[in-house]
Structure 1
Amino acid sequence: MMLHTCWDALSEPVRVAVTEQTGNIRSASQVGAGSTCQLAEILHTRQGPIFCKGVRTDAGNTWMLRNEIRVNTLLPAGVAPRVLWQVEADGWLLAGFDLVPGRHADLSPGSPDLVTVADTLSLLSGFVPSAPVRPFSARWQGRIAPEVIDGEVLVHTDMSRRNWLVDGGRARLVDWSTPATGAAWIDTALMVMRLVRYGHSPAEAEAWASRVPAWSAAPKEAVAEFAVALHRLWRERQNAVPLGWRGPLVEATKAWATYRSRRATRVVLR
């Protein structure tokens, strides 16, 4: 379990380095414990509020925040909060982001959020980054043939509802800590699995996915192979380290993979 800290508990060198970027900080308030960061706070400055997240550089997952900082500069405007600055001091890496309004997406059947989420995925599914990003197939080596998921499109890869911030008719995708490049339909496929987890049938989830052009153009056999590989991945993770939140994802991937396999000619769920 990751230990979390607050602004006031940071050392003076860290706080000084941050205030050199922000100006005087009037107050700070925690916004909950992040799963990939040890500090997540809103810093209230004269210029306005800033979202600050940070990790200790010896924590082992610093690479995730470095990924997020780097890929932020490659994203289309408005898709995610903009990185304003980064600071590395006294054993900490911190980044400041635009503070944007929003709440976590409601992914249940009938939710109006599903339309705005599909709109954002449609935009991203045509976006090719201007700098190299690690291929998704490298992460999935040995799980699926590279040609099934290879592509040039930037993909987020973590469609947790907590990574969607919805405000009115707009959905932003945050926490780009595990980006990759791959087939344009990958993020939509990962969202299909999440929708099944939140109460949609596989058929209903795929009907929603048809809002995204890249999904409609995806090779059906490739999607089926991906669904089966995704189920095996979550089943292996749950068997290795049983966690309560993983159980529903194992069941969701099984339901979707079974549905998909029945419509494929060469894919078998095992």
Structure 2
Amino acid sequence: MSDRLPDSEFLSLVEQFTGPVKEMRPTKRGFSSDVLILVDGELGRFFVKGIRNASGGRREEFVRERLINDSVQSVSPRLSWHTDGGDWMALGFERVDAEPSRFEPGSPDLPAVLDLLGRIGEIPLPDLVANWPETRWDAFADGPEEARLLRGDSLIHGDVAPGNFLVGPAGGWAVDWSWPTRGAAFIDPAFLVLQLIAAGHHPENAEELVAQVPAWSKSDPQGIDVFARANLRMFRHRAERYPDQSWLRDMEATAQAWVDHRSA
């Protein structure tokens, strides 16, 4: 994310929903959008994200995030408005009193994060997600039989990370539903295990924490093993392809530690 504020064309596009802008400032989180700002306007206070209006993956992500919002408002801020005009697309969400969570050992945010994952797991699969199967790890599974273990009929957020799981006085919020899919119920909790290990937890302790989430405790351990190995292959592949991205090597080491623990 750039700290630059949006241009006048973008502001003209969104002011029809916000009213004249009194104040705006960049957010503390987010890297996947061209604009991420907090707006105080005459018509309300909003979290606004925007992208350049062009064909490709990010446009589809924006469309999915708009479409899924009605189904996830029990765990996510409400989408107040959206617009698609000229050079920009924008989504305007209600502002919530919350900050990016922290995943390190001893973090006071972890109970809220675990509760949030549990509530996501209780959301019935929306009809529109039925045709969005989870396939991101297929290329890194050891054949189609393993890939089938990642299938399922649960709603998957798919990007469990501190910046996407916000915690505040009223609880937790899952944001950035850019790629919701239908998959195995353990995928989001398994994502959290990987993130907890990256934040400094021992793999055993990370799994013990996530065992509080029903979608994890009721899942087939073989499917979780497949997910762990697929992530290791994925991060190894990407680290070799992008050697200047040191965080990919860090995540490869994290995934290796998890696979080693599950193989012991």
Under a length normalisation based on structure 2, what TM-score does the superposition of the two structures give?
Answer: 0.90
SS in 1 for 2:149: helix
The aligned counterpart of 1:208 is: 209
CA distance in 1 between counterparts of 2:136 and 2:199 reads 26
**Residues 209 and 215 in structure 1, CA contact (< 8 A), matched pair in contact too:** yes
Q: Deviations over 1:29-64 (max 9, x none)?
A: 222573110011112112331111100012742222
The aligned counterpart of 2:85 is: 89
State how 1:252-263 maps to structure 2 within 5 Å: 252-262=254-264
The aligned counterpart of 2:133 is: 135
Does 2:75 correspond to 1:74? Answer: no
SS in 1 for 2:103: coil
Does 2:8 correspond to 1:6? Answer: no
The aligned counterpart of 1:219 is: 220
CA distance in 1 between counterparts of 2:191 and 2:55 reads 28
**Residues 126 and 184 in structure 1, CA contact (< 8 A), matched pair in contact too:** no
Q: Deviations over 1:186-232 (max 9, x none)?
A: 10001001100111111000000111011111111111111111111
Give the 3 Å change call, closer, same or farther, for CA 169–33 of structure 1 in structure 2.
closer
State how 1:82-161 maps to structure 2 within 5 Å: 82-133=78-129, 134-136=132-134, 138-144=135-141, 145-161=146-162
1:4 CA drift (Å): 6.6
CA distance in 2 between counterparts of 1:206 and 1:34 reads 27
The aligned counterpart of 1:240 is: 241
| Residues 42-51 or 95-104, more deviating | 42-51
Under a length normalisation based on structure 1, what TM-score does the superposition of the two structures give?
Answer: 0.88
CA distance in 2 between counterparts of 1:15 and 1:113 reads 34
Return the letter of the residue paired with 2:257. A
SS in 2 for 1:171: strand
Return the letter of the residue paired with 1:53. K
Give the 3 Å change call, closer, same or farther, for CA 177–93 of structure 1 in structure 2.
same
CA distance in 2 between counterparts of 1:190 and 1:34 reads 18
Return the letter of the residue paired with 2:116. T
CA distance in 2 between counterparts of 1:5 and 1:131 reads 38
CA distance in 1 between counterparts of 2:33 and 2:201 reads 31
SS in 1 for 2:71: coil
**Residues 164 and 171 in structure 1, CA contact (< 8 A), matched pair in contact too:** yes
Structure 1 unaligned residues grouped into runs of 5+: 263-270
**Residues 29 and 100 in structure 2, CA contact (< 8 A), matched pair in contact too:** no
**Residues 4 and 33 in structure 1, CA contact (< 8 A), matched pair in contact too:** no
1:83 CA drift (Å): 0.8
| Residues 210-219 or 42-51, more deviating | 42-51
Return the letter of the residue paired with 2:254. A
Give the 3 Å change call, closer, same or farther, for CA 39–160 of structure 1 in structure 2.
same
Return the letter of the residue paired with 2:5. C
CA distance in 2 between counterparts of 1:59 and 1:32 reads 27
**Residues 75 and 129 in structure 1, CA contact (< 8 A), matched pair in contact too:** no
Correspondent of 1:62 among 56, 59, 62 = 59
Give the 3 Å change call, closer, same or farther, for CA 22–169 of structure 1 in structure 2.
closer
CA distance in 2 between counterparts of 1:95 and 1:168 reads 25
CA distance in 2 between counterparts of 1:211 and 1:169 reads 20
CA distance in 1 between counterparts of 2:108 and 2:175 reads 19
**Residues 103 and 162 in structure 2, CA contact (< 8 A), matched pair in contact too:** yes
Return the letter of the residue paired with 1:52. V
**Residues 30 and 163 in structure 2, CA contact (< 8 A), matched pair in contact too:** no
1:72 CA drift (Å): 1.3
